[in-house]
Amino acid sequence: MKITVDVVTLFPVFFESPLQESLLKKAQDKGLVAFNIHDLRQWTHDRHKTADDKPFGGGAGMVMKPEPIFECVEEIGKDAWVVLLDPQGEPMSQKLAQKLAKKKHLVLIAGHYEGVDQRVKDHLIDQEISVGDFITMGGEAPALCLIEAVTRLIPGVLGNEDSVQHESFQTGILEYPHYTRPREYRGWKVPDVLVSGNHKEVDLWRRKAAEQVTRQKRPDLLKSSLRRKK
């Protein structure tokens, strides 16, 4: 299934290089995903291409105007799932990435300044998503995070599909530690079980190591995983 991702932004150049690198480029070359970047100012109606204005009621900063956003999305986003990247949104997660990866058409709106006019949230978008409890310069970087998380889940994008099944958050806890050559470096040795050739023992070690890592770094995930199993 091919996914189309349209990004609405005030800064389209922001996306030029990232979308032409690594697996994102390969996914496009394979015809698995199509990215379209839209300059929101193309839907403005004054000679200055004004996309923002002062907030009613006063206050610091500027607010993105509703008209260009509505007109842009209505033109490019027929039958699409419309997402606003916004600090107030639902926290991004692996589970959410899996749901988005099943959509045929996504429209991502990169918010900016103090945010978008509330009427955009009330009457246009399907979902607000946040990539964390912090503030970025705008929604462009968060949009790239979402694009990366979703694209890698599209069948055929990753060289080894098994990679998705065993990584952090996929099973509810963090991933086990990884080692590669050399077997010994500066006196630090790779655990013997990983070079034993005993796949059953390796799997057991990895399960225990994953639980230990999660207990140390994200005990909240381990508690949630245990509750789901009950």
3-state helix, strand, coil in the chain (%, to 5): 40, 20, 40
What are the angstrom distances between the C-alpha of 35 and each of 25, 27, 151? 10, 10, 11
Task: Please tell me the predicted confidence (pLDDT) of residue 214.
Answer: 95
Task: Please tell me the predicted confidence (pLDDT) of residue 172.
Answer: 80
Task: Please tell me the predicted confidence (pLDDT) of residue 113.
Answer: 87
pLDDT tens string 151-203: 999 999 997 665 555 555 666 899 999 999 999 999 999 999 999 999 999 99
Radius of gyration of the chain (CA): 22
Task: Please tell me the predicted confidence (pLDDT) of residue 169.
Answer: 61
Angle formed at CA 133 by CA 108 and CA 55, multiple of 5 degrees: 65
Task: Please tell me the predicted confidence (pLDDT) of residue 223.
Answer: 76
pLDDT tens string 51-106: 999 999 999 999 999 999 999 999 999 999 999 999 999 999 999 999 999 999 99
CB-based contact 100:85 (threshold 8 Å): no
Task: Please tell me the predicted confidence (pLDDT) of residue 165.
Answer: 55
Q: What percent of the chain has pLDDT over 90?
A: 87
Q: Which two tokens stand for residue 13?
A: 């150049």
Residue 87 φ/ψ, nearest 5 degrees: -60, -20
Task: Please tell me the predicted confidence (pLDDT) of residue 168.
Answer: 53
The 8-class DSSP code of residue 112 comes to: B
**Residue 107: burial class (beta carbons within 10 Å; 0-12, 13-18, 19+):** buried
- For residue 220, count other CB atoms closer than 10 A to its CB: 9
211 pLDDT band, cuts 50/70/90, is very high
Task: Please tell me the predicted confidence (pLDDT) of residue 228.
Answer: 58
Q: Which helix (H) or strand (E) holds 189?
A: strand 188-189
Domains defined for the chain, CATH in brackets? 3-151 (3.40.1280.10), 167-229 (1.10.1270.20)
